[in-house]
Each structure stands twice: as structure tokens, then as C-alpha cells.
Amino acid sequence: MDAVSGVAQFTDLNLLSLSLQCGSFICELLYWGFFEPRWWRNYLHVHSFFEVCYAYQGRGIFCIQDQTLPVQAGDVFVARPGEAHEIISSQDDPLGIYFWAYTLLPDEKSGPERPGGDVLMASFLTSPQAIGARTSSMLRTLELLTEEVARKEPGYLQAIEALVVKLLVDTARAVVDLPRFSVPLDPPAKRSDEAIVQVMLRYLRDNYSRCTLSVRDLAAQVHLSERHASRLFHQVMGTTIKAYLTTLRIEKATQLLLEGRTPIKEVALATGYPDVRYFTTLFRQRVGLTPASFQRKGGTRFFTDCS
């Protein structure tokens, strides 16, 4: 099955509800799509989730943040949450792409971390690289996904889930500096400060819905003073406890809003904000849309004033 002939079957993946474990992260697939080689442009916009494109034919331009990057067949390019981006196909050599979107969040209920996969996925979240060319097996993975959803043979759901995990891993590998983040087969024991921060992170993930959650509560969990706990957290995570908690709460709120079934007041309460006005203001500052607009637009914001 060639890339173009599988377009209808590939988008049948949208009929499946896929929520998958990838190391200590949970990935929820939001949509799948396909553009045939022709001239097109999907004007400047931003998502609250990851959107990944794989170019199987042609050339084009990927504009992201303040960068204008050329893309060609064999490239994968990634827009992370909050990154303004657009794609412009070449008129001389039109661009054909597969694309898919997903959320990627730490799993609050996961067991011990899986060092290799977790380092890769955590690095993917923060990697500044938007384009990768290490994609030798990606087209075949996309074709296999298309074949599985088209044939629907016994076990096809399990096969699709396995292929999606491979797609997630291959995407991360393509845009992460692998030598820098490589992990030996027998990883050394974590430093004690990293282990302490992991306890703090798990406590935040388990209790983010509590509006009274404080640094004092967190410090008590690891038997440190508030000052020491705050300093250690910043040293390991590169951000403050308050900033991390706010980001976590907003990410959880976006998930609830994308589901489309929970009233905004209940979303605010479920993420630790009893004052819905404060929640609305904070959400708009972080996401660029009010919760109501975000829910209505499905998490995507277009910039109407761009040329």
C-alpha cells in the first residue's frame, strides 16, 4: 500500500480511542490526518498539545516561533504545546504529509520509572529541536498502522497500540540529541536529591486538585524545611514549585476541557482553583484563550492577524 492510496484508511484511526502508556508517561491520541502532495498552507496557529508531521513527499517551509525551517521528504517536524506554527507547501515540489496530535503527561499512577524511555520522553518535552531526519522506519510504521486499521484482523487494536508507541519513540528520537541523553543498560542509582524530588513530584501529581496545597505540605513529605525543599526542587527541575504546580494544573484543565463534558466551574475546582474568575484569567494568560473558547475550538488557536 503506497502513501497516497492509504489516505482514507489512515484517517480511520480517528475512530479509535487510544490512550497509551509510554514509560512513565500517558499519551492520549487526539487526531490523525493526511495531506496529499499539492500546494497548501495552514496559517499560523497554536495548540495546547503536540502536533507531529511526517513529510513523505515534496518540500515546504515549517515556520515555528521565530524560525523559518525548510522541510523535505523524510523529515519529521514537531510543534509543541504553545508554539505558534504554520506549514507552507512548495508550489514547484508540493508537500505531502501524514500528521497526528497527542497529549503527553506524567502518569500519576505509574510504578517505578523506566530510565531509558523516561529520559527520552522527558527530553522530548523540552528539546528545542523542531525538525529531525532520523526517520528511516517512520514511513513503514505509518503504512503498517494504515494496514492494521484497514484490515481489522484479530488483534489489530493491540498491534495498533504497539505501533503507536513505536511512532512516539521514533518521533522523540528524531528530535532529541541521543548521545547527550543516552542511558546505559544498567543505569547508576539516582542521586539522593533526584530521588527526593521524585517524591515531591508524585505528591504534586496526586494532590494538585487541593486548593490548599502548599510548599509546607510538600516539604513535610520529604522531611525538609520549606526553604531547603524549594531550593532542591529548583536545582533539579529548573523551575519553582509554584510554577511547576501551575503548569501541571493548567495541563490537567486542558485535558478536561478537551473532553468537552465537564462544566468550566467543575474544571476549575478539579484543578485546585475554587475561584472560577481567577482560573479563567490564569488560563487565558497561559493558553491564550478563555476556557470556554478553548473548549469550543478544541484546543487550537489561529492567529487571524497574520499575513
191 has a pLDDT exceeding 70: no
Please report the pLDDT score of residue 6 as a whole number. 56
Please report the pLDDT score of residue 116 as a whole number. 46
- Residues 96-122, mean pLDDT to the nearest whole number: 73
The CATH number assigned to the domain holding 24 equals 2.60.120.10
Map residue 153 onto helix, strand or coil.
Answer: coil
Q: Are residues 67 and 146 in the same domain?
A: yes
Q: Are residues 74 and 118 in the same domain?
A: yes
Within 13 A of 215's CA, how many CA atoms are on the CB side?
16
**78 within a domain of the structure (yes/no):** yes
Q: Are residues 17 and 84 in the same domain?
A: yes
Report the alpha-carbon distance of residue 268 to residue 241 in Å, rounded: 20
Please report the pLDDT score of residue 3 as a whole number. 45
Q: Are residues 39 and 129 in the same domain?
A: yes
Give the mean pLDDT of the chain.
85
76 has a pLDDT exceeding 70: yes
- Give every CB contact of residue 71 below 8 A, 6+ residues apart in sequence: 55, 59, 60, 61, 62, 77, 87, 95, 131
Map residue 82 onto helix, strand or coil.
Answer: coil
Please report the pLDDT score of residue 117 as a whole number. 53
Q: Are residues 25 and 158 in the same domain?
A: yes
- Give every CB contact of residue 54 below 8 A, 6+ residues apart in sequence: 75, 76, 97, 98, 99, 135, 138, 139, 142
With beta carbons less than 8 A apart as the criterion, state whether 198 and 190 touch.
yes
The one-letter amino acid at 54:
Y
Helices of type H across the chain: 7-10, 115-126, 138-151, 156-175, 178-181, 192-207, 215-221, 226-237, 241-259, 264-270, 276-287, 291-297
With beta carbons less than 8 A apart as the criterion, state whether 56 and 3 touch.
yes
Considering 154, 181, 208, which residue would you say is the last residue of a domain?
181
Report the alpha-carbon distance of residue 206 to residue 37 in Å, rounded: 46
The region of weakest confidence among 70-74, 81-85, 123-127, 303-307 is 303-307
Report the alpha-carbon distance of residue 193 to residue 197 in Å, rounded: 6
The CATH number assigned to the domain holding 226 equals 1.10.10.60
Please report the pLDDT score of residue 74 as a whole number. 95
Map residue 173 onto helix, strand or coil.
Answer: helix
282 has a pLDDT exceeding 70: yes
Give the domain range for residue 277: 192-288
Q: What is the pLDDT of residues 174-190, one digit of tens each?
A: 998 765 555 444 444 44
Considering 181, 207, 234, which residue would you say is the last residue of a domain?
181
Map residue 47 onto helix, strand or coil.
Answer: strand
Please report the pLDDT score of residue 287 as a whole number. 86
Q: How confident is the model at residue 298 (pLDDT cuts 50, 70, 90)?
A: confident
280 has a pLDDT exceeding 90: yes
Q: Are residues 121 and 198 in the same domain?
A: no
Q: Are residues 198 and 117 in the same domain?
A: no
Q: What is the pLDDT of residues 202-251, one digit of tens each?
A: 889 889 999 999 999 888 888 889 999 999 999 988 889 999 999 999 98
Q: Are residues 41 and 107 in the same domain?
A: yes
Q: Which of 24, 165, 51 is nearest to 106 (CA)?
A: 24
Please report the pLDDT score of residue 301 as a whole number. 65
Q: Are residues 228 and 129 in the same domain?
A: no
| Helix H or strand E encompassing 28 | strand 25-38
Q: What is the pLDDT of residues 11-40, one digit of tens each?
A: 899 999 999 988 878 899 999 998 999 999
**297 within a domain of the structure (yes/no):** no
Please report the pLDDT score of residue 71 as a whole number. 96
Q: What is the pLDDT of residues 127-148, one digit of tens each?
A: 889 999 888 899 999 999 999 9
- Give every CB contact of residue 179 below 8 A, 6+ residues apart in sequence: none
Q: Is the pTM of this model over 0.85?
A: no
Please report the pLDDT score of residue 110 as a whole number. 53
Q: Are residues 208 and 136 in the same domain?
A: no
Q: Which of 146, 173, 157, 156 is nearest to 32 (CA)?
A: 146
Q: Are residues 62 and 120 in the same domain?
A: yes
